[in-house]
Structure 1
Amino acid sequence: MAKYDSSLGETTLRLTNGTLIRGFGAETPSNLRGWAFGKAWLDEYAAWSRHTAQEVYDMLWFCLREADTPQVVVSTTPKASFHLVSLR
């Protein structure tokens, strides 16, 4: 890791190979507006409200539109929720 910065609403991690990893909070899905990237990780997805989960998921796929092979990882503690089951 070359540099780590965590400020209000954004976390940035720059690796020594030049890779830039940005972290966004799910509480404001519009923070994803305008970004373009190739991979994403949604953590604790089942804990999000159904509305927030849908809004983030929709915005995320728009951000992945330019990627040749977009990839998304969803990790969560198991919990029965509609938005989690609908990902199958």
Structure 2
Amino acid sequence: MTGKERAKLKSIAQNLKATFQIGKEGISAEFINQIDDYLEKNEIVKIRVLNNSSEDVKEAQAFLMEELNSEFVQQIGSIFVIYRESLKRPRLLQDEK
């Protein structure tokens, strides 16, 4: 991902609310499946790691990026944003290519 593409995704993410939250239950297979479906539809997702979670923000981010084959966009505090181009309907970065 180029710097220009990352900047565009950051500007999109700025207006998003955290769609998913990682709490005391941690990251389950069902949670990963839900994010996978969401990424296929929307290409970008903002995730918050709650204070009561046993997960570290950077570890959760790295784990999800690997499991979902996604790319890091940004992290601010306990919130991070990941991106994965949709296989069926790519749209967010189409004009950048």
More strand by share: 1
TM range (shorter): 0.3 to 0.5
More RCO (CA 8 Å, sep 6+): 2
Structure with higher helix content: 2
The two structures have a TM-score, normalised by structure 2, of 0.32
